[in-house]
Amino acid sequence: MGVLEGRIAVVTGAGSGLGRATALAFAREGASVALLGRRLDKLEETAELLETATGQKAMPIQADITVKDDIHAAIGSLVNAWGRIDVLLNNAAVLESGSVLDLDSEEWEKQIATNLTGPFLLTQAVLPVMRANRYGRIINITSGLARNGAGGFAAYSAAKAGLESLTVTTAHEEHEYGILVNLYNPGTLRTEMHAVGKDPSVVTPDLVRLASLSFGGPTGALHSYG
């Protein structure tokens, strides 16, 4: 029996990269997985891979995580179909370079919306369901840029710094309901955002561990690969 046997997980950005790899890892440990993203064809590819490889259920749901109505419709349809949500992985992200001086406001708003507002909206949508069951595991994917800035990625760095603060706040607010909320920094991965780096599957054991933490486990903490 896997460590996520019978659990219901939501993974954003599940059409490729770390999202796809983690969805597969969760399913191999016994979870049914809802796959959220904007590109339905990619989500359906992930669903087919997952079901073929593991025999677990997958539900591809096309949604823009920056749009509140999309999120509420997605979470509502999932709960209606599967009854609850145990795990949320906020993974979807966009990364474009731009200094504070040169970044235009539209690009700033796009990156803040996807990298910070999206995880906020998803967390807000799943918390009532998790509270009702007095169980939840939320994992927010962060980056070293949240803390080191490293010039040239002003919007992305600011969004990830905000996400780290939001994670700690949510952890404090939700601990009494059996909900653990943590950050994970995978380092540089080889994905659509990066041409070089580790294969995403290398870090999925860490994410499985965070998704299956026992009661009393760490919350509001930063975990990193290696």
Return the SS3 of 141.
strand
Under the banding of pLDDT at 50, 70 and 90, the label for residue 192 is low
Under the banding of pLDDT at 50, 70 and 90, the label for residue 175 is very high
Q: Which residues are catalytic?
A: 156
CA distance 59 to 33: 6
Q: Report pLDDT for 148.
A: 83
Q: Report pLDDT for 44.
A: 98
Identify the CA nearest to 114 among candidates 70, 176, 84: 70
Q: Report pLDDT for 216.
A: 95
| CA dihedral (204, 171, 14, 152) positive or negative | negative
Under the banding of pLDDT at 50, 70 and 90, the label for residue 193 is low
* Mean pLDDT within 97-126: 97
Look at the block and give the residue holding tokens 């994410």.
207
Number of CB atoms found within 10 A of residue 147's CB: 14
Q: Any idea where the domains of the chain sit in the sequence? A: 8-224
DSSP 103: -
Element (H, E) at 123: helix 118-133
Domain at 8-224: CATH architecture:
3-Layer(aba) Sandwich (3.40)
Tell me which of 43-57, 69-83, 137-151 is least confident: 137-151
CA distance 18 to 8: 18
Number of CB atoms found within 10 A of residue 135's CB: 18
Q: Report pLDDT for 12.
A: 99
Identify the CA nearest to 139 among candidates 178, 94, 172, 171: 171
* Mean pLDDT within 211-216: 98
Tell me which of 33-47, 69-83, 97-111, 141-155 is least confident: 141-155
Model pTM? 0.96
Under the banding of pLDDT at 50, 70 and 90, the label for residue 196 is low
Task: Indicate if the pLDDT at residue 168 is higher than 60.
Answer: yes
